[in-house]
Chains A and B, each alone.
Chain A
Amino acid sequence: MTYLKSGCWFTASWIGLLLLASHASADDEPFRPEVGKFPPLKNAHAYRGELIFVDHANRRGSIRVAGTGKFYRNDPQPFAMLPYGVIRYHGAPAELRDIPLGTVMHVRAFLPPDPKLSTVPVLPVDNKDKDVGHYRGTGTAPAENHVLLFEDEPSHCLRERKVWKLQQVEIEGNVGKIIARREPRDGGEAEEPTEELTFDAATRIWRGRERIHVADLISEEAWPEAGKKQLEGQAVLLGITWKPASGDGLSGAFTQFHISDIWLDDEAIQQAAEFQKETHKSFVRSRWMPAWIDAVEYGKFGRATVTATLFGGMDASLYSDFREGIGAQMNGAENTLKHAAGHYGPGHMASDGKLLDVTRASGDVPLGSSGIQIRFETDLIIEGIRTGRVVRVRPEGWPKMQIPREEYLFNNSPEDRFPKPDIFPEY
């Protein structure tokens, strides 16, 4: 009997351990993306924080990650965008340069695919589980600092079909607090906790194509001049930043985010998205579409046929410019998406050719990929167009432009191709 009991316990513990292990491997285990594969979003580590520093030319920056402690104490954590990493701002594709410092971003990130080439510090794999002390709490310095998805609050809500439901405003002198909760847009159970957010006289409120201020809402009697008012779950989208919250470090709110923008209706957020979309379309047309090389078939005398997958996350109209039979250019790039151009410029250095095929994947397309594969034929293949490498592609309908000095490599020294993390201060 004792033997049987012991056998049962042993089996039960094993089943328990297996369950725990399978749970851990699916959700919690650090995941390192493989070269040539778009990693699954579900394996990414998720966190959010305030954008502190941007080195847009190298697609990296720093973010103050919200943990379990006093937010203001958290050291800015360096991050690097994966070459196929997607950035979204105001519900539209964006670049790091488009996002104001201070914006609170939602992050989905992985371990560095190749730690030797990381442009940001490589941290211990279990760092996200560590309490870094000094009241900062756990999770403020994750090793998952290579970002697949970087999105601001309205982009996050639009992607997840959520809205903020305003419950109460408390105001005095155009400054105050709002109690609100992120909830499913189409109804259903709210799973997230209620948050208290600050606002002030600089908070922008967007209604249709109007930009109004807190003072305007007060004069319209939508909000009181002073005191509290119940807002009955008014559905809005919020732009969220961070400002130091009242308190001296011993008392006060440890993590309280700030509302920079309130979009009161669909027309207002659609207009914001439209401006950002047009900004980014113009950017990608001038810098070319990033892609990676799936295969190269070499011909004679420098000829080659190159198969590449265009990266995802851009406006659909940009992809529709890639059409079978049109002329195109393909240039070598790096993981930072910098052109390998030299002073002559990408238009001069790139391989010229023609798009033989443009095929679209029919099934599930992983985030990071557009699902569009092109076959490009050139009579002069250049270095850099090799399987697994990152390139930039321009269909002939896009304007030929020269890019600024910090966005291309000259002489291609290893330090320029693979920037070191030493620009980031240690705290």
Chain B
Amino acid sequence: MTQLRFVRRLAVFFYGACLLTKLAIADEPFRPEPGEFPPLDKAHSYRGELVFVDHANRRGSIRIDGAGRFRFAGPSPFAMLPYGMIRYRGAPADLRDIPLGTVLHVKAFLPPDPLISSVPVLPLNNRLKKLGYAGTGVAPAENHVFLLEDDLSHSLRHQLIWELNEIDIRNFSGTLTATRKPESEQDKGAVVETATFSFDAATRIWRGRELLEVADLIGEDMWPVSGKREIDGQQVHLGLAWKPTPGGVFKRFHIVDIWLDRAALDRSTRRQKENHKDFIRSRWMPARVDTVEYGKFGTAKVTVTLFGGMDESLYADFKQGSGGMLAASENTLKHWASGTAGTAQMAGKGTLTEVRSAAENIPMGSSGIQVTLETDLVTEGFRPGRIVRIRPDTWPLVEVPREEYLHDAQTTHEDRFPTPDIFPSFQR
């Protein structure tokens, strides 16, 4: 009997230990492997305010919400992974598109190669540390970003919506209490998050084609001139930022945009999508080299995987049999050029001999589209695992600005692999 009890206890202990191990694996810092797209579920998640942007090197700083006094959190540097995706207003974006102050949701990993990290490399357990009044997790070592999205994009990706519950207003400013819920009918009752936000006379309210002010909603008697009013779960989408908060509030996000209906939202999304499409057409599609088959006299077949997260119409421009250009790039997605000779002059030219789309199991970061370009002049930089930029010949031929290319005769290691020196160290 005693022996049986012991075996049972051992089994329970083992089961418990297994569960804990599984849990620990989910929480363990994860370092992406070169040549692989890391699984999203291994990413460390956090959110914070965009404070600084160095868009030419795809990096910046974010003030991370550590459940403490938000304003004490020093901006934490981050770098986009080369295949890292940015979304703003529900559409693909570049760092330059996102206004400073915007609250962003982040999914990030440890630096794939700490030696060439363009942002400070921090102790692995940093996300567990409490940094004074700023709170816990405000400076995680996971600062290489896989997915960076504003609150609106985050809501759309998870099919969530904000329901407004109560407004408290005075002099066109005040607070709104809201509940984030699933949009689908079946999960409608579930509450994901309840929060109180500030708003003010600069908050933009979008309705169809219209841009309204707080004063307009008061004029239409939707909101009171002064005092509190229940709003009964009006469904909206919100754009969030952060501003210093009066009084003893440690952290309160601020509403910069309210989308009252789908038509308004679609207009904002469309504008950002068009903006980014134009950007990618001029800077070319980023990709990673899978294989290179060398031929004779400089010919080669280069197979690359196009990075994900772009508008579908851009991928549709890669057609088998059409012409294309392939240019060496870096982890920052910078082009290579040569002063008077621009990116197009330096690129390998050829034909897209194959365009294959994976049917399933496409990891985030990848488009699932593999393209083979046959060129008669392979250039340095087209090597398995390296980052390239590729252009189908229907895209316009333009020259990228000076800070977005590396000069082949002048570029140093510091230009190829920017050091983290530009980031100030804030004493805590």
Contacts and interface: CB of A to CB of B under 8 A. Distances in A.
Nearest to A410: B427
B340 A134 contact: yes
Contacts of A76: 402-403
Chain B CB within 10 Å — which of A246, A274, A425 has the most?
A425
Contacts of A416: 424
Contacts of A410: 426-427
B64 to A, nearest CB: 12
Interface in B28-58: 51-56
A196 interface: no
A59 to B, nearest CB: 13
A135 B341 CA distance: 12
A202 B426 contact: no
Interface centre among B51, B54, B278, B399 (most CB of A within 10 A): B399
B63 interface: yes
Given A286-B243, A406-B426, A213 B270 contact: yes
Contacts of B272: 202
A56 B75 CA distance: 13
Chain B, interface size: which category?
35 or more
Contacts of A362: none
B52 to A, nearest CB: 7
Interface in A3-25: none
A193 to B, nearest CB: 24
Given A75-B402, A211-B209, A271-B213, A249 B282 contact: no
Contacts of A399: 246
A76 B405 CA distance: 13
Contacts of B396: 246
A282 B270 contact: no
A405 interface: yes
A389 interface: no
A214 to B, nearest CB: 9
B202 interface: yes
A298 interface: no
A270 B399 CA distance: 36
Contact of B402 (A55, A74, A100): A74
A351 to B, nearest CB: 21
A101 B55 contact: yes
Interface in A60-107: 64, 70, 72-76, 97-98, 100-102
Nearest to A424: B422
B100 interface: yes
Given A212-B209, A427-B402, A243 B278 contact: yes
Interface string B114-133: 00000000000000000001
Contacts of B200: 278, 282
B75 A405 contact: yes
B402 A202 contact: no
B26 interface: no
A274 B211 CA distance: 12
B267 interface: yes
B22 interface: no
Most buried by B among A57, A216, A411: A57
A402 B252 CA distance: 13
Interface in B47-85: 51-56, 63, 69, 71-75
B73 A405 contact: yes
Contacts of B344: 248-249
Interface in A172-224: 200-202, 204, 206, 209-213, 216
Contacts of A404: 51, 63, 71, 244
A245 interface: yes
Interface string B382-402: 000000000000001111111
B99 interface: yes
A275 B202 contact: yes
Given A101-B55, A202-B275, A209-B210, A244 B403 contact: no
B174 interface: no
A316 interface: no
A135 B398 contact: no
Interface in A393-427: 399-406, 410-411, 416, 422-423, 425, 427
A404 B48 CA distance: 13
Nearest to B55: A101
A248 B345 CA distance: 8
| Most chain B beta carbons < 10 A, residue from A206, A402, A427 | A402
A425 B204 contact: no
A31 interface: no
B119 to A, nearest CB: 14
Determine which residue in A204, A249, A425 has the highest number of CB atoms from chain B within 10 A of its CB, and name it: A249
B204 A246 contact: no
Contact of B403 (A56, A212, A403, A427): A427
Contacts of B55: 53, 101
Interface of A: 52-57, 64, 70, 72-76, 97-98, 100-102, 134-135, 200-202, 204, 206, 209-213, 216, 243-249, 252, 271, 274-276, 278-279, 282, 286, 343, 399-406, 410-411, 416, 422-423, 425, 427
Please list the 7 inter-chain residue pairs (A to B) with the smallest Cβ-Cβ separation, ordered nearest first.
A244-B398, A278-B202, A399-B246, A202-B274, A202-B275, A401-B244, A278-B201
Interface of B: 51-56, 63, 69, 71-75, 96-97, 99-101, 133, 200-202, 204, 206, 209-213, 216, 243-247, 267, 270-272, 274-275, 278, 282, 339-342, 344-345, 396-403, 407, 415, 421-422, 424, 426-427
23 contacts: A72-B400, A98-B99, A102-B96, A135-B340, A201-B278, A202-B271, A202-B278, A204-B271, A210-B211, A211-B206, A213-B270, A216-B209, A247-B399, A248-B345, A248-B399, A249-B341, A271-B211, A343-B72, A401-B244, A404-B51, A406-B426, A410-B426, A416-B424
